């Protein structure tokens, strides 16, 4: 598919919308789609970041007399929705799908774009506005889909932190943390209030921490163009335990180098939680209310307003009590797999090519489906365990696999005549040392369609950071050929290995 993403960034807007769109673009590009960005040329934009990552960016002009206010979303655009839709549509060429992530663009813009371009629209939102889109994504934790009004008969809502658009590196490091739990850590504090820090609150928080004589080493992530920078820079020169950094190439690795955090209740809060970092959330904008409400009841979260900064040290002490329990509570809020779920949903949309396979995470609703596959003679013929499991054994086994934080189970789906069909299963069992054991099962009625090969390639892309191992019986010549074709190296008579491309070791 040719996909156009309409998103803006600026000193006022910040970079949060752009960063989640960038992660989505990376996920779509990894699956063979072509992505271009369309952004308005606003002061302090992050267009160069997109270009440095290899994306084409077409710029909409800065409106005359542009003045934006942080709490006035309509002012962020500088023009009307109709004017923006017209300018955008004139720039776009050969587009199958439009993704829009903008607090100033909603139903009127989407209607206009669909009429002009004849394509599908995916809207990313967290304000529960009215939309005309095929897919609406809202990653607000514990949000109810009932809040949304949609006028599109085929609109699908993806709501909740299960769809948080986190980079794949968060999944990799989360798995490492699960297999190597921290015991009695030496605490370090990370402070990051977002790319814009529009209200200059970082300086207020740093001063409050120093005034309360916190003994924790503190790392502050803060851009050089933010209001707080010079003040925090001066403080860092006088306090040995205060470190100021202006950027991080790998946000996930920066987060896991710390044990506690202070930040705004945006996407970065879900990033920290996915890695088990108990946090103090400091709300600074109205649009953060939804995330704050969804996270407030988690025991790994403390909430402090800008008027309550004198409570910071007390809240940090509470987070350090029963720390390992709070780490687990944090990780329960977000598993980091939202990007894969969203990409899968986008690829299932009707504009997709027929015959393309997808992988979706298995759920408890699939227990009976997988059981029926497991009973088939064709499945058992080359299985490492020839005996078919009983219903009770199968239930216990699959529930255990679905609840595991280190194992993966996917249902392979494929569209035939506009209907989605479940055609097989692929499973990755954690084997330690950044290795997984793969098992694949195809429904016999779909043999000969290349599904197994496509599924292995998809797994290799999605889990490229892992070494994948397969045990294939020597008499199963067809499967041995399949794994060889998919790039696996035969190391022993029945052992096939696909080495990791990336590693966070």
Rg (alpha carbons) of the chain, rounded to whole number: 24
Strand 489-490 with 467-471, pairing: unpaired
Specify the residue for token string 């199963």. 476
138-148 pLDDT, tens digit per residue, is 999 888 888 88
469 backbone φψ class: left, alpha, beta (φ>0; ψ -120 to 50): beta
Q: Helix 168-179 vs helix 267-274: angle between axes, to the nearest 10 degrees? A: 30
Residue written as token pair 């506009």:
418
Residue 505: its pLDDT value, please?
A: 34
pLDDT of residue 254: 94
**Angle, helices 267-274/323-331, rounded to nearest 10 degrees:** 120
Q: Is pLDDT above 90 for 286?
A: no
For residue 351, pLDDT over 60 is answered with no
Task: For residue range 98-127, list pLDDT tens digits in order.
Answer: 999 999 999 999 988 887 887 889 999 988
Interval 420-436 mean pLDDT: 92
Handedness of CA 300, 255, 188, 246 (dihedral sign): negative
Q: Fold match between 2-163 and 168-331?
A: yes
* Domain locations along the chain: 2-163, 168-331, 353-498
Q: Please report which confidence band the pLDDT of residue 195 belongs to, taking 50, 70 and 90 as the band edges.
A: low
Residue 61 in contact with residue 83, Cβ under 8 Å? no
Q: What is the mean pLDDT of residues 219-243?
A: 90
What confidence tier does 352 reach under pLDDT thresholds 50, 70, 90? very low
Q: Which residue has the tokens 């006035």?
A: 72
Helix (H) or strand (E) holding 263: strand 260-263
- Over 185-232, what HEC string results? CCCCEEEECCCCCCCCHHHHHHHHHHHCCCCCCEEEECCCCCCCHHHH
In 166-216, beta strands by DSSP E: 189-192
Cα–Cα distance measured from residue 332 to residue 295, given in angstroms and rounded to the nearest whole number? 11
CA distance 443 to 424: 5
Of all residues in the chain, the percent with pLDDT exceeding 70 is 94
Q: How far apart are CA 193 and CA 442, in angstroms?
A: 47
pLDDT (0 to 100) of residue 310: 93
Over residues 389-403, the mean pLDDT reads: 93
Let me know: does 462 contact 343? Beta carbons within 8 Å: no
pLDDT digits over 59-75, tens only? 999 999 999 988 899 99
Residues 244, 195: Cα–Cα separation, whole Å: 14
Which pLDDT value is given to residue 145?
A: 84
Q: Retrieve residue 80's tokens.
A: 């009307």
CATH architecture assignment, domain 2-163: 3-Layer(aba) Sandwich (3.40)
249 contacts: CB under 8 Å, gap ≥ 6 = none
162: left (phi over 0), alpha (psi -120 to 50) or beta: alpha
- For 268, the 3-state DSSP assignment is helix
For 444-482, how does the pLDDT look when each residue is reduced to its tens digit (9 = 90+)? 988 878 899 999 988 987 788 789 999 999 999 989 999
Q: Name the CATH superfamily, with its identifier, for domain 353-498.
A: Gcn5-related N-acetyltransferase (GNAT) (3.40.630.30)
- Give the span between the Cα atoms of 306 and 145, in whole angstroms: 30
pLDDT of residue 354: 45
- In this model, does residue 213 exceed pLDDT 90? no
Residues with Cβ within 8 Å of 302's Cβ and at least 6 positions away in sequence, in order, are 279, 280, 281, 315, 316, 318, 319
CATH superfamily of 168-331: Glycogen Phosphorylase B; (3.40.50.2000)
Taking Cα atoms as reference points, which of 226, 269, 284, 287 lies closest to residue 104?
Answer: 287
Mean pLDDT of the chain: 88
- In this structure, of 56-60, 93-97, 482-486, the range with the lowest mean pLDDT score is 93-97
Q: Is 48 exposed, middle or buried (0-12, 13-18, 19+ CB in 10 A)?
A: exposed
């Amino acid at each position: 598919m040719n996909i156009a993403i309409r998103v803006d960034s600026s000193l006022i807007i910040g970079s949060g919308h752009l960063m989640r769109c960038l992660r989505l673009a990376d996920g779509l590009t990894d699956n063979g789609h072509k992505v271009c960005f369309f952004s308005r040329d606003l002061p302090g934009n992050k267009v160069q970041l997109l270009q440095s990552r290899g994306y084409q960016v077409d710029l909409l002009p800065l409106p005359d007399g542009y003045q934006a206010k942080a709490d006035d979303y309509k002012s962020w655009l500088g023009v009307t929705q109709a004017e923006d839709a017209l300018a955008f549509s004139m720039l776009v060429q050969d587009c199958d799908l439009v993704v829009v992530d903008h607090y100033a663009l909603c139903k009127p813009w989407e209607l206009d774009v669909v009429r002009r371009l004849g394509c599908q629209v995916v809207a990313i939102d967290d304000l529960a506005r009215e939309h005309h889109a095929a897919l609406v994504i809202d990653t607000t934790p514990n949000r109810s889909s009932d809040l949304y009004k949609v006028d599109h008969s085929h609109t699908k809502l993806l709501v909740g932190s299960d769809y948080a658009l986190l980079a794949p590196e968060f999944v990799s490091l989360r798995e490492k943390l699960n297999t190597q739990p921290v015991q009695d850590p030496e605490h370090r504090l990370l402070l990051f209030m977002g790319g814009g820090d529009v209200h200059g609150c970082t300086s207020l928080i740093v001063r409050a921490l120093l005034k309360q004589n916190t003994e924790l080493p503190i790392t502050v992530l803060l851009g050089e163009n933010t209001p707080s920078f010079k003040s925090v820079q001066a403080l860092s020169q006088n306090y040995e335990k205060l470190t100021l950094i202006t950027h991080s190439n790998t946000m996930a690795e920066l987060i896991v180098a710390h044990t506690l955090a202070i930040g705004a209740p945006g996407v970065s809060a879900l990033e920290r939680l996915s890695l088990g970092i108990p946090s103090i959330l400091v709300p600074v904008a109205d649009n953060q209310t939804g995330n704050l409400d969804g996270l407030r009841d988690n025991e790994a979260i403390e909430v402090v307003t800008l008027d309550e900064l004198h409570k910071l040290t007390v809240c940090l002490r509470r987070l350090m009590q029963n720390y390992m329990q709070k780490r687990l509570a944090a990780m329960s809020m977000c598993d980091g797999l939202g990007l894969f779920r969203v990409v899968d949903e986008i690829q299932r949309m009707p504009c997709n090519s027929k015959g393309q396979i997808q992988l979706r995470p298995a759920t408890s609703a699939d227990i009976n489906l997988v059981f029926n596959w497991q009973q088939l003679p064709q499945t058992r013929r080359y299985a490492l365990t020839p005996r078919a499991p009983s219903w009770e054994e199968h239930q216990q086994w699959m529930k255990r696999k679905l609840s595991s934080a280190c194992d993966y189970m996917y249902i392979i789906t494929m569209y035939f005549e506009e209907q989605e069909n479940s055609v097989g299963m692929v499973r990755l069992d954690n084997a330690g040392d950044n290795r997984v054991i793969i098992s694949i099962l195809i429904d016999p009625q779909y043999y000969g369609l290349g599904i197994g090969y496509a599924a292995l390639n998809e797994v290799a892309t999605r889990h490229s950071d892992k070494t994948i191992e397969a045990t294939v019986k020597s008499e199963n010549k067809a499967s041995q050929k399949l794994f060889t074709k998919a790039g696996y190296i035969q190391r022993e008579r029945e052992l096939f290995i696909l080495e990791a491309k990336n590693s966070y070791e």
